[in-house]
Structure 1
Amino acid sequence: MESILNLGNQCKSDNAFTKKARLLQSMYRVKIGEEEGVGPTKTSKRKYGNMISGGEISGKNFLMKETFEYAKKRVKNRKDNETIDEFRLFNNLLSSMPMAFNLFHPLMLLLEENPEKVTLTIRSIFKNIPVFVVTKIGLEFIPTPIEKYAKDKSAMDAYIQFQDNNGEKHIIAIETKYTDILGLNEAHNCEEQKQMLIDTGLFCAEFEGLLIANKIKLTQIYRNLLLTERYREVENLKDSYSVVLSPKEHPSTEKEIRSVTEYLKPEYAYKLSAVTLEDFVDTMIQCLPEYYAQVYERFRERYLEFE
């Protein structure tokens, strides 16, 4: 560890991008007047500049009071199989989980007030997806019972449900990343999930052979895609889309996406794509009413102004 001025302990093992992001969140902690906290877990002994203490009381990890209240409600009413980490959600400024809450909960609020404005904004971001009317936006979603879907605890960080101009239902499942790298470990006893992935019909024959021969592992990005496709099948949706949302400088997103899309049949290449966090936030600022645009200006300052 190393300490920079009064910004608290940093982490020597961080890659270049994570180092910048941790420093930015350490600066944010100082700005909001919070003391350095322990992390990354509740039982950790070391303090880091990106950690706060008592966030479950202060709500300082959230950009809106309403988002903090929503986060508390989600923790209090946590359902079976939900993997919401309370300590991380409230106290880790660097974590992508509270970032996702800060990113999508304002849209959830605005959808109740002004669904037309939300629909126009989502259309502006996902220009190649046939969004006619947004019907629902949610966070940390594990469809249950899990036995009906992907049969594991994979979750959608966020999702957008919409109808096309024929009234057909669709879903966009979103993986939000800040400094995270999608897990490279394969789930245990995942032969059934591998077969379900093959049964989606999205992949070329070469992929099927490599997957069965264990030359390709069923890593997180595949499990996320499987969850989205299984949700489409079970809920009888017209179509589904998986999107990775991360900063433009994120060191691995492009490679992670390419590791999957190279095996998708050409007609299904649209199934997995990436959107930069910068483009998403800039669109929010440009399209949303002033009150909400200001929330996303604060988001940009907190998470994305590295220089």
Structure 2
Amino acid sequence: MERTHLPLIPEPILRRHHVLENHDNRFRTNVRLLQAFWRTGRELRIGRHTAADGTKRLLGSRISNTAGRAGGNFMSAEIARLVYREHTYREPWSNYDEQRLWTNLLSSQPLVFNAFGPLRLDPTLATAMLRAICPDLADATADAVLFEHSPGRGVAELTGDHTAWDVAITYTREGGARGIVAIEVKYSESGWEPVKELRSRYAELMPATGLFLDPTAPELRRAPIQQLMREHVLLQATIARGDYAEGRFIVIAPQLNRPMQSACRRYAAQLAEPAEGKAGFGVVTLEAFMAAMRKVGDEAYSDALFDRYIDWSQIDDAIEESFLASLAE
């Protein structure tokens, strides 16, 4: 039977694994526990959270700074080396949160590298995955996989700010047309995180893109969809500048992250009908992405990625074991 939602995990389980966080929603609680399981299985030293008052406590979804510096947040030594290179040679003005990248198991930043690092390292896999997640690009060949990419941070003719995509795949079609798939990856995020103050440039750029039914709609400027709007507008401005002949903006998020999936639907409802020359919008579930990788890539790596991020059976087993233990008392 297809799973429609995740469980309310009993508090003793969360306490046992140091992942009881009162501010977490149901989905975030489940994935936080999954990350604690993964950390334990990899024998990575637990990290600590520092509160605003300076007090520290153990947090099961975090690894120690020492483990982080050793690349412990990444699925393999090869991916860790890639991250070190990408971080060192990152684009000017790109923004990486150091703690999130190296020690926060729950963050989508390491997920981006764990999911797309293999594509960066293997151009053949990049092309195969491009065609798998965008079936209409069957004639396209991937040219590059770019992390934390912007075609121009602070450039006035684009958005004038530092908006960037988590990852982008550039490609060339058989006829020679160049295109780009701009991707935002979400894991535990809900879309309700604090939003940025929009620059005045958006007031003129949003109507000019032709992307929206009503470019003045207040909802486009606030959570949970403002970030999606900014990244989509950046893509359309990039196409209008002539960088690419075509492009699309895709969000990748777990199927059961209901707040994020809802945000994507709300954003899609604001969009005008697709038209030639306009950047498309789509959603690919993290489950579908991993299934595609398993089909066209390394099965063992894909399975390990699945186990870490979305293997809900581990949660089921923990709840069952806790229940049986309580009966035996």
Q: What TM-score does the superposition give when structure 1 sets the normalisation length?
A: 0.87
Q: 1:232 to 1:59 in 2, by over 3 A?
A: same
State which of 30, 33, 38 in structure 2 corresponds to 1:28. Answer: 38
State which of 238, 255, 263 in structure 2 corresponds to 1:248. Answer: 255
Cross-structure match for 1:217: 221
* Structure 2, gaps ≥5 residues long: 1-10, 314-329
State which of 76, 82, 88 in structure 2 corresponds to 1:64. Answer: 76
Q: Does the Cα contact within 8 Å between 1:23 and 1:50 map onto a contact in 2?
A: yes
Displacement after TM superposition at 1:142 (Å) = 2.5
Q: Write the distance in 2 (CA, Å) between the matches of 1:3 and 1:164.
A: 51
Q: Write the distance in 1 (CA, Å) between the matches of 2:82 and 2:274.
A: 39
2:233 aligned with 1:226: yes
Cross-structure match for 1:161: 170
Q: Write the distance in 2 (CA, Å) between the matches of 1:149 and 1:20.
A: 39
Q: Write the distance in 2 (CA, Å) between the matches of 1:10 and 1:2.
A: 9
Q: 1:176 to 1:19 in 2, by over 3 A?
A: same
Q: Write the distance in 2 (CA, Å) between the matches of 1:254 and 1:247.
A: 8
Q: Which has the larger radius of gyration?
A: 2
Where does 1:65-104 land on structure 2 (aligned, <5 Å)?
65-104=77-116
Cross-structure match for 2:269: 262
Q: Does the Cα contact within 8 Å between 1:140 and 1:156 map onto a contact in 2?
A: yes
Displacement after TM superposition at 1:31 (Å) = 0.7
- Provide the identity percentage: 24
Cross-structure match for 1:304: 310
* Structure 1, gaps ≥5 residues long: none
Q: 1:39 to 1:194 in 2, by over 3 A?
A: farther
Displacement after TM superposition at 1:140 (Å) = 1.2
Q: Does the Cα contact within 8 Å between 1:56 and 1:72 map onto a contact in 2?
A: no
Q: Write the distance in 2 (CA, Å) between the matches of 1:220 and 1:99.
A: 19
Moved more, 262-271 or 118-127: 262-271
Displacement after TM superposition at 1:50 (Å) = 0.3
Q: Deviations over 1:93-142 (max 9, x none)?
A: 1110000100001111111xxx2x53233212211346521111121112
Deviation beyond 6 Å, 4+ runs, structure 1: 40-44
Q: Write the distance in 1 (CA, Å) between the matches of 2:262 and 2:136.
A: 22
Moved more, 220-229 or 40-49: 40-49
1:7 alignment partner AA: H
Q: Write the distance in 2 (CA, Å) between the matches of 1:159 and 1:38.
A: 33
State which of 47, 52, 56 in structure 2 corresponds to 1:45. Answer: 56
Displacement after TM superposition at 1:5 (Å) = 6.1
RMSD across aligned positions (CA): 2.5
Where 1:51 maps in the other structure, the secondary structure is: strand
Q: What TM-score does the superposition give when structure 2 sets the normalisation length?
A: 0.82
Q: Deviations over 1:14-41 (max 9, x none)?
A: 1111111000000111111122212379
Where 1:89 maps in the other structure, the secondary structure is: helix
